[in-house]
Structure 1
Amino acid sequence: MPNIATLTLNPTIDTAYEVERVFPTHKMRTQKEQYDPGGGGINVARVFVRLGGNARCYYLSGGATGVALDGLLDLHRLVKTRIPIAGPTRVSASLYDRASGQEYRVVPAGPTVSPEEWQDCLDRLAEAQCDFLVASGSLAPGIPDDFYARLAANAAERGIRVVLDSSGEALRTGLNGGNIYLAKPSLGELRQLTGQPLDTEGAIADAAMALVETTGTELIAVTMGHEGALLASRDGTIRLPALPITAQSAVGAGDCFVAGMVYALATGRSRGEAFRHGIAAGSAAVLTPGTDLAHPADIARLLPQVGAI
């Protein structure tokens, strides 16, 4: 059975609500509400376990909201290693307006993490036993930009494949430090990383291949929303279109892509087949409302619809 560890430095309690119509000042009575443990690595673990794998969640947690997050992880029966911090865990909100079909998302910055707290995190992960280590999500305030690079260097020494899904300087320094097996930037994150408009398929492919060559990253998967995704490796690039489905919620789609792709890789599929699994899992995520994430039955149903490689 495949075994991974996930790291979430800035987790969240994800709340999701539905209202008939969004309007100012007056109270909006919700029709549905949902509460789930969230943040990149936690979302990856939720889907990876649904698919049949083993995942241990490493995450920072503090304050009264941290206690609530711990309880939500227990409800989802996820194996967890809590790294205590003083600051309170953040709470994110997703609001679906039925009248317009629009979704509104509010995401706080999160608590400030002290040097002692993030060093404790590095020390604990130095003892992690896994095949893949998925570091996903933003850095909480106070954590240095090169945190993921430090993490990857230690993991690589122990033969662990590191998967990185972040943005900004955390992504840049993580990639430049080497030791990354798979990185999954969105197209927006790739544009920010390169400083280029990347307004053609050829430009996107060239930018992804340049990262493979300059950073030594084995696989770069660029997700592009309704335009599909692109996979770059030393063997070249693969481009697949998005599936024609009606989205219910965009929450966690990228995390589900990572979970599907890593699960396929961990169970012996080829890079191309793993890429197809990632697209199917990301597409399955948008079928579910709120913060529910992808389900195996939907992934299996959608996989035959993903283009052949």
Structure 2
Amino acid sequence: MNFDVLTITLNPAIDKSTTVDRFVPEQKLRCAPPRYDAGGGGLNVSKALRRLGGDSLALFSAGGPPGQLLQDLVRKAGISYRIIETQEWTRENFTVTETESNAQYRFNLPGPTLSASEAQSWLDSLSSLDFKPAYVVASGSLPNGVSTDFYARIARAVQNAGARFILDTSGQPLFEAANVGVFLLKPNLNELCALVGVETLETVDIDDAAREIIGRGDCEVVVVSMGPQGAMLVTRDFCEHVPAPSVKKLSTVGAGDSMVAGMTWALSQGRDYRQMIRQGVACGSAATMNPGTELFQPQDVERLLAWINQYGTRYRLPTDCTVD
């Protein structure tokens, strides 16, 4: 079977979420029944693509009883997948929302340490795919035991496969992958600052900073995530700011991955870059409207996208996107 999109999750997790009335130290806290979700950046992207009516093949690590539960959750979500087996157990994350204040507490546990042979299995799997995806999406942190250049090695493998690589990560792995070159990067403002070696950036300087990394061959497209202010799309030829609709925020878990999924889905449907970023902002904003790790509802995405298309131009930030 052919898939236009392959998602990569090197450090997946079982995401557990629940609520409690109020946090009180040293007391037993009575929680609501927990919700279990397959977690990790790439898996979130695959789940979100599924909600948009798209399809993907999810490639992820899995080990121990939690790894089996992870596979069950992915299968239940209707996602096609392949796994890289690990000796150590898949990690678990825990999110608790205090209903009295709507404050959210996120506990991320360390993941397994990959052996050298398990890391090599990842590269072997990518080089021996029996189909040619148009897009490969990698999102999330690297597991213990692999070098910081691992995403860079994946970027080379994706280039050799003739696919477009979309990367959403941070820190040294982001730098090293960018040096190899990817199709699309989605840094936040802090990550963009780090990529161009400055401490801060004013809004009017974002497009110049993004074009700097495009100009040196790090990528073809940059989408800068700006939180409540939305996102800015920058290519070699133009840029556009898309404001985030005002919504009641219940959780930010998976919002960034939902944005990546929206953009990937739009590209896989043949949409242009402007349509791509609008779809991404709509999906990311819609994800914050749901509690815990639930991602977004398609009807919310449609409503927010309609707002962006009709009213978004009124709320764009002033930017000078002219090309010299």
TM bucket by the smaller chain?
over 0.9
2:242: which partner in 1? 240
- The 10-residue stretch of structure 1 (259-268 or 66-75) with the greater mean CA deviation from structure 2: 66-75
Counterpart of 1:110 in structure 2: which amino acid? Answer: G
Shift of 1:218: 1.1
Secondary structure of residue in 2 paired with 1:275 = helix
Counterpart of 1:167 in structure 2: which amino acid? Answer: S
2:37: which partner in 1? 36
Which of 199, 202, 210 pairs up with 1:200? 202
The answer as to 2:95 corresponding to 1:97 is no
CA contact (8 A) 1:7 1:133 kept: yes
Percent identity over the alignment is: 39
Counterpart of 1:160 in structure 2: which amino acid? Answer: A
Shift of 1:248: 0.8
Give the alignment of 1:214-233 within 5 angstroms. Answer: 214-233=216-235
Instruction: List gaps (5 residues or longer) in structure 1.
Output: none
Instruction: After superposition, give the CA deviation of every residue in 1:11-54 in whole Å (9 maximum; x if it has no partner).
Output: 00011111100121111111242110010000000011121111
Which of 158, 163, 168 pairs up with 1:165? 168
Counterpart of 1:41 in structure 2: which amino acid? Answer: G
The answer as to 2:74 corresponding to 1:73 is yes
Shift of 1:148: 1.4
CA contact (8 A) 1:2 1:263 kept: no
Shift of 1:131: 1.3
- The 10-residue stretch of structure 1 (279-288 or 230-239) with the greater mean CA deviation from structure 2: 230-239
CA contact (8 A) 2:180 2:218 kept: no
Shift of 1:197: 2.8
TM-score normalised by the chain length of structure 1 = 0.95
- The 10-residue stretch of structure 1 (232-241 or 133-142) with the greater mean CA deviation from structure 2: 232-241
**Aligned counterparts of 1:212 and 1:184: Cα–Cα separation in 2:** 12
2:59: which partner in 1? 58
Secondary structure of residue in 2 paired with 1:287 = coil
Which of 112, 129, 149 pairs up with 1:146? 149
Counterpart of 1:215 in structure 2: which amino acid? Answer: G
1:279: which partner in 2? 281
Counterpart of 1:143 in structure 2: which amino acid? Answer: V
1:303: which partner in 2? 305
Counterpart of 2:11 in structure 1: which amino acid? Answer: N
**Aligned counterparts of 1:216 and 1:111: Cα–Cα separation in 2:** 30
Number of residues of Structure 1 aligned to a counterpart in Structure 2: 308
**Aligned counterparts of 2:11 and 2:188: Cα–Cα separation in 1:** 19
- The 10-residue stretch of structure 1 (209-218 or 219-228) with the greater mean CA deviation from structure 2: 209-218
**Aligned counterparts of 1:89 and 1:236: Cα–Cα separation in 2:** 42
User: Relative to 1, partners in 2 of residues 1:35 and 1:161: Cα closer, same or farther, differing over 3 Å?
Assistant: same
1:84: which partner in 2? 85
2:179: which partner in 1? 176
CA contact (8 A) 2:57 2:79 kept: yes
Counterpart of 2:176 in structure 1: which amino acid? Answer: T
Counterpart of 2:285 in structure 1: which amino acid? Answer: S
**Aligned counterparts of 2:305 and 2:176: Cα–Cα separation in 1:** 34
Instruction: List gaps (5 residues or longer) in structure 2.
Output: 317-324
Counterpart of 2:162 in structure 1: which amino acid? Answer: G
Secondary structure of residue in 2 paired with 1:96 = strand
1:268: which partner in 2? 270
Secondary structure of residue in 2 paired with 1:221 = strand
How big is the alpha-carbon RMSD for the aligned residues of Structure 1 and Structure 2? 1.6
CA contact (8 A) 2:115 2:145 kept: yes
CA contact (8 A) 1:248 1:288 kept: yes
Shift of 1:216: 4.0
- The 10-residue stretch of structure 1 (151-160 or 275-284) with the greater mean CA deviation from structure 2: 151-160
Counterpart of 1:8 in structure 2: which amino acid? Answer: T
Counterpart of 1:27 in structure 2: which amino acid? Answer: K
**Aligned counterparts of 2:162 and 2:230: Cα–Cα separation in 1:** 32
Counterpart of 2:146 in structure 1: which amino acid? Answer: I
1:187: which partner in 2? 189
**Aligned counterparts of 1:298 and 1:172: Cα–Cα separation in 2:** 35
Instruction: After superposition, give the CA deviation of every residue in 1:171-211 in whole Å (9 maximum; x if it has no partner).
Output: 11111111x11111122322343442334102322221111
CA contact (8 A) 1:63 1:88 kept: yes
CA contact (8 A) 1:19 1:95 kept: yes
1:125: which partner in 2? 126
Instruction: After superposition, give the CA deviation of every residue in 1:210-231 in whole Å (9 maximum; x if it has no partner).
Output: 1111134111111111121111
**Aligned counterparts of 1:187 and 1:93: Cα–Cα separation in 2:** 27
